[in-house]
Amino acid sequence: MGKLTTLFQRKPKQGSIKKITNAQYVLFAVITLLGFFIAIVVNRTFPQIADVKITSYPLGIFGEVTINGFYEIILAVLIFIYLLNAVYSFFDSDRRRKFASRVPFRFVIGIAIALWDVFGTKLLLLPQPFFPGPAKILEAFLMEPAYIGQQILYSLRLFGYGFVIGVTAGVLTGILIGWFPKVYYWVHPVLRISGVIPAVAWMPFALTLFPTPFSAAVFLITICQWFTIASLTAQGIQSTPKTHFEVAKTLGAKTPYLVFRVAIPHAMPQIFTGIAVANGFTFTTLVMVEMMGQPGGLGYYINASKVWSAYYKVFAAIIVMAILFSLILKIVGLVESRVLRWQRGLVKR
């Protein structure tokens, strides 16, 4: 594993990429799946020494399953997903190398889950109820799947409204600031002053000014998006080389063309950087506003579970957040890769 980690920890220079043979790739795929398979074997074979109540729940086509059975099903799903990924990546050299580069991490994750299961469930050596085992955490999804689904939809709806409004307002403000000196004179100081204030500091005013807690939360999320995106968009517009404008004017370009076909395309990398950075603050704000005044959402679910010391539900919500937010960032990254496809081969990635 040490040689494997050393081999892939750095991105090789052009012309120095070693071809991964079919036999090597199959070995990498086996190592990827092996860690999660070991976790299943450990759960099956290691005796339940600590006194833990093992409850059964109905689970569709699987019938009645215990928390350990559901834990093994989730591990099997992970194995299946990585197996599909391995097959999909087999036929492309770039995807093949990308898959192989993450093999050590995936293997270690499987082993870590197995150890967590032993110390958190089988032996119950971790401080309880603050650090439950993985099977206990997954029990939350068996107990109240519909309720958790409602909280997920609430959080996504709240984030969606704030994201769309914030990105739109941020990009428009950035374009105006970056292009028009008079707008820069009047708006940029306001942007700098308001941007350094944490969004949650505006919560008392938002709850007073807006008719519902939902609209107030959307406003706070919009503030998070607006400042960062507007600032970086303006920088991107202002940093457009004058030679680009001069060439376009020579060819007869008017102001709309200069803005939409020269300045904005040049600012696109900064715009997507602003969106990525703003999302980090947005996720934090989203959870905080849900914990401090929303009637639903994952933050609300965490707060309610904490009151009853149901920390396994807190961990379940955290896992859902990690998956959801990772997917959102992945989608933004795919859109960025598509829009900025002209950068391929020109910048370091």
Domain spans in the chain, listed from the N-terminal domain onward: 19-143, 146-343
pLDDT at res. 12: 46
Give the C-alpha separation, 228 to 199, whole Å: 12
Buried (b) or exposed (e) across 164-201, using 16+ Cβ within 10 A?
A: ebbbebbbebbbbbbbeeeebeebbeebeeeeeeebbe
Q: Taking a C-beta distance cutoff of 8 angstroms, is the pair 324, 152 a contact?
A: yes
Two tokens, residue 53: 């109540």
CATH number for region 146-343: 1.10.3720.10
Question: For residue 231, which of 286, 272, 192, 179 has the smallest C-alpha distance?
Answer: 192
Q: Which amino acid is at 138?
A: L
Neighbours of 75 (CB within 10 A): 22
Extract the residue ranges of the chain whose pLDDT is less than 70: 1-18, 344-349
Please answer whether residues 224 and 278 qualify as being in contact, where contact means their C-beta atoms are separated by less than 8 angstroms.
yes
Q: What is the pLDDT of residue 347?
A: 62
Q: What is the pLDDT of residues 254-295, one digit of tens each?
A: 888 999 999 999 999 999 999 999 998 899 899 989 988 788
255 neighbors 179 (Cβ within 8 angstroms): no
Distances (CA, A) of 32 to 1, 22, 89: 11, 15, 13
- pLDDT given at position 144: 93
CA distances from 13 to 35, 227, 252, 341, 348 (A): 31, 38, 42, 21, 11
What pLDDT does 50 receive?
Answer: 86
> Omega into 129 within 30° of 0, i.e. cis?
yes
